[in-house]
């Protein structure tokens, strides 16, 4: 199943269906669809089983927390592992683990050996598997299709989940009504084994790593640092949390609305979620045809307002057929918002840190769902179901204002290929990658008239230095010659600085060029590397402090 990724043709227009031209994407997508159907069957069966085993709305809402909380705990470690370890092997482990857990829950359900708390426990274990699997699964998309088709691939992955949402709950509800929830859990276990088999036969191309290998803790820090100094990513995370927190009211309480407010069966609950999934699938086709007419901010704003209306409708409407229509519109809004968030994140980061940033995004998203489910469930228990949903609707409407301080920008045209334009400095002797810290200084000659513009450009470059590994960065002027401006950045180890060389992208190179255009010296800016002076205990073995110079 190995294949070389290349565009279908030099002038081919990328459409929603372009990723299906790649056989490996097609195979994994189909396997993922089957697994997603099993997952949504499991969700319906688990929530409905807890609804029948307890009278507490809080315990029912905690099913969403049991699904989402593991992502809050494990997303970051999973993202770091996905950037450091063979992703194929990790997928084989996570799919196998979830197959065992789902099968175990099915067996206990058949033997009447499970309680509401037991279902919550098994759901938490499945959530752990999903939390480890999710960042790897999303990051793998970049290996299956070329960058121009990545946006379509992300949308199709969303379509897969929502086709499953459209048919999975209905199938799950029917199996529960006519047979038992135990059968649903066993079928879900089988669906994981199907995905395991497809991944097993995937001949993944080996990943070439430039620079010294990162350790696990260092990889975690690098991922968090990248998010901290990336304003575009930070803005998406703020809006993601606000949206998922408000949307958690629908996900956590819709089964309570069906069972307690409308006094209907599990079949109606399954149909409700099916209409949601059908709306999401429809939303994918609408975005394919008319998506270019709406920018990212407009898509997210419309989706947020629509979900505010969903919570309002669940609180006030008592006719199930009207709620079906509401859920259909909500599905369109859900896909529009989540695809906008996910696409922006994945297209805004280079491959070396991609899984880690995706894991932070998913952590924030799941944290919003987990905390929101708990909050709205508590309000429903202590006040009323209707008041909880009305407050959630108000939250969604208020969160729409986040578009003002945190606007979203398209990342389609970014060139995030490694620039690889920094020459390796000449060194005396051998430097261990763990030696450090390292100080890098770049000397520019800048005319006083250009200082304001230079400072603004240097500030953008400083953020890139910090994002890619520097602990501190800044600029100084020479008190003896004010036209000499020195940029510095301070890195923990020599190995980390070597990794900086390979993290700098073509897009970053444009920012660096904006700084260099103000240099007026006869030669290129002089670059000097300083390595920390050796400790006195090792002074007899060490060479004197080294000054390493290069021109770039």
The enclosing H or E element of 214 equals none
| Contact criterion met (CB below 8 Å) for 16 and 216 | no
User: Residues for the chain: how many in total?
Assistant: 552
| Contact criterion met (CB below 8 Å) for 348 and 230 | yes
Whether the per-residue pLDDT at 459 is higher than 90: the answer is yes
Which pLDDT score, from 0 to 100, does residue 207 have?
64
Whether the per-residue pLDDT at 204 is higher than 60: the answer is yes
Whether the per-residue pLDDT at 59 is higher than 90: the answer is no
∠ CA 289-293-298, nearest 5°, is 115
Which pLDDT score, from 0 to 100, does residue 9 have?
46
Mean pLDDT of the chain: 83
Give the distance from CA 476 to its chain's centroid. 38
pLDDT in tens, 236-281: 999 999 999 999 999 888 888 888 888 887 678 778 877 887 888 7
Per-residue confidence band for 475, with pLDDT thresholds at 50, 70 and 90: very high
Q: What is the Cα–Cα distance from 50 to 56, expressed in whole angstroms?
A: 9
Whether the per-residue pLDDT at 467 is higher than 60: the answer is yes
pLDDT in tens, 85-138: 888 888 899 999 999 998 888 888 888 877 788 888 888 898 888 888 888 888
Q: What is the Cα–Cα distance from 397 to 301, expressed in whole angstroms?
A: 9
The enclosing H or E element of 444 equals strand 438-445
Which pLDDT score, from 0 to 100, does residue 152 have?
82
Q: What is the Cα–Cα distance from 444 to 465, expressed in whole angstroms?
A: 17
Q: According to the per-residue pLDDT averaged within each range, which of 65-74, 413-422, 433-442 is highest?
A: 433-442
Its sign, for the CA torsion 491, 493, 494, 499, is negative
The CB density around residue 215, as the number of other CB atoms within 10 Å, is 12
What is the mean predicted confidence (pLDDT) over 425-437?
A: 83
Whether the per-residue pLDDT at 546 is higher than 80: the answer is no
| Contact criterion met (CB below 8 Å) for 139 and 358 | yes
pLDDT in tens, 364-407: 887 888 789 889 988 998 889 999 999 999 999 999 999 899 98
Q: What is the Cα–Cα distance from 292 to 287, expressed in whole angstroms?
A: 8
Which pLDDT score, from 0 to 100, does residue 1 have?
40
Which pLDDT score, from 0 to 100, does residue 510 have?
92
Q: What is the Cα–Cα distance from 42 to 193, expressed in whole angstroms?
A: 15
| Contact criterion met (CB below 8 Å) for 250 and 311 | yes
Which pLDDT score, from 0 to 100, does residue 444 have?
94
pLDDT in tens, 374-386: 899 889 988 899 9
pLDDT in tens, 168-179: 777 887 888 778
pLDDT in tens, 155-164: 888 788 777 7
Q: What is the Cα–Cα distance from 432 to 195, expressed in whole angstroms?
A: 43
Which pLDDT score, from 0 to 100, does residue 509 have?
92
What strand order describes the sheet that includes 526-531?
A: 472-477, 484-491, 438-445, 526-531, 547-551
Per-residue confidence band for 423, with pLDDT thresholds at 50, 70 and 90: confident
Whether the per-residue pLDDT at 484 is higher than 70: the answer is yes
Instruction: Kindly list the distances between the CA atom of residue 155 and the CA atoms of 241, 271, 466, in Å, as whole numbers in the listed order.
Output: 20, 23, 32
DSSP tag of 448:
G
| φ, ψ dihedrals at 489, nearest 5° | -145, 145
Residue that has been written with the tokens 């932070």 in this structure: 360
Per-residue confidence band for 289, with pLDDT thresholds at 50, 70 and 90: low
Which pLDDT score, from 0 to 100, does residue 401 have?
93
Whether the per-residue pLDDT at 537 is higher than 60: the answer is no
Q: What are 466's two structure tokens? A: 């910090």
Q: What are 333's two structure tokens? A: 């809004």
The CB density around residue 413, as the number of other CB atoms within 10 Å, is 7
- Identify any residues that bridge with 444 across adjacent strands, giving them in sequence order: 485
Q: Please state the pTM of the whole predicted model.
A: 0.79
Whether the per-residue pLDDT at 10 is higher than 60: the answer is no
Q: What is the Cα–Cα distance from 142 to 14, expressed in whole angstroms?
A: 15
């Amino acid at each position: 199943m190995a294949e070389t990724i290349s565009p279908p043709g030099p002038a081919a227009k990328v459409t929603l269906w372009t990723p299906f031209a790649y056989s490996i994407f097609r195979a994994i997508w189909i396997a993922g669809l089957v697994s997603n159907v099993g997952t949504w069957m499991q969700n319906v069966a688990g929530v409905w089983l807890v609804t029948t085993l307890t009278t507490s709305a809080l315990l029912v809402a905690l099913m969403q927390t049991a699904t989402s909380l593991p992502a809050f705990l494990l997303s970051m470690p999973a993202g770091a592992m996905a950037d450091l370890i063979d992703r194929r092997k990790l997928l084989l482990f996570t799919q196998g683990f979830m197959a065992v857990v789902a099968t175990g829950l099915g067996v206990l359900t058949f033997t009447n050996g499970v309680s509401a708390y037991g279902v919550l426990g098994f759901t938490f274990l499945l959530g752990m598997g999903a939390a480890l699997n999710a960042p790897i699964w999303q990051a793998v998309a970049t290996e299956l299709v070329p960058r121009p088709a990545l946006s379509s691939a992300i949308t199709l992955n969303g379509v897969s989940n929502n086709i499953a949402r459209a048919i999975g709950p209905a199938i799950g509800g029917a199996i529960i009504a006519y047979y038992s929830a135990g059968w649903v859990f066993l079928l879900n276990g089988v669906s994981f084994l199907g995905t395991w088999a497809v991944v097993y036969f995937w001949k993944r191309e080996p990943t070439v790593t430039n620079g010294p290998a990162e350790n696990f803790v260092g990889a975690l820090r690098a991922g968090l640092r990248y998010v901290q100094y990336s304003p575009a990513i930070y803005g998406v995370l703020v809006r993601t949390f606000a949206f998922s927190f408000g949307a958690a009211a629908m996900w956590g309480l819709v089964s309570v609305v069906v069972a307690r407010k409308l006094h209907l069966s599990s079949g109606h609950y399954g149909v409700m979620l099916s209409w949601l999934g059908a709306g999401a699938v429809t939303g994918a086709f609408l975005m394919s045809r008319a998506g270019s007419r709406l920018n990212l901010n407009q898509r997210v704003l419309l989706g947020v307002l629509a979900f505010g209306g969903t919570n309002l409708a669940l609180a006030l409407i008592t006719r199930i057929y009207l709620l079906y229509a509401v859920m259909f519109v909500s599905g369109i809004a859900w896909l529009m918002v989540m695809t906008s968030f996910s696409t922006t994140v994945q297209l805004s980061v280079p491959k070396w840190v991609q899984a880690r940033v995706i894991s932070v995004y998913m952590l924030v998203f799941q944290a919003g769902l987990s905390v929101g489910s708990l909050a709205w469930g508590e309000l429903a228990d202590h006040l009323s179901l209707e008041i909880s949903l009305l407050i959630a609707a108000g939250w969604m409407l208020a969160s729409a204002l986040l578009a003002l301080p945190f606007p979203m920008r398209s990342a389609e045209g970014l060139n995030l290929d490694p620039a690889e334009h920094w020459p390796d400095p000449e060194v005396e002797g051998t430097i261990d990658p763990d030696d450090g810290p390292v100080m890098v200084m770049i000397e520019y000659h800048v005319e006083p008239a250009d200082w304001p513009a230079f400072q603004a450009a240097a500030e953008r470059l400083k953020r890139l230095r910090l994002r890619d590994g520097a602990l501190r960065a800044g600029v100084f002027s020479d008190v003896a010659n004010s036209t000499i401006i020195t940029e510095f950045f301070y890195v923990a180890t020599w190995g980390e600085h070597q990794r900086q060389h390979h993290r700098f992208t073509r897009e970053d190179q444009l920012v660096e060029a904006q700084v260099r255009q103000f240099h007026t010296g006869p030669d290129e800016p002089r670059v000097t590397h300083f390595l920390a002076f050796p400790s006195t205990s090792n002074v007899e073995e060490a060479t004197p402090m080294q000054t390493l110079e290069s021109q770039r």
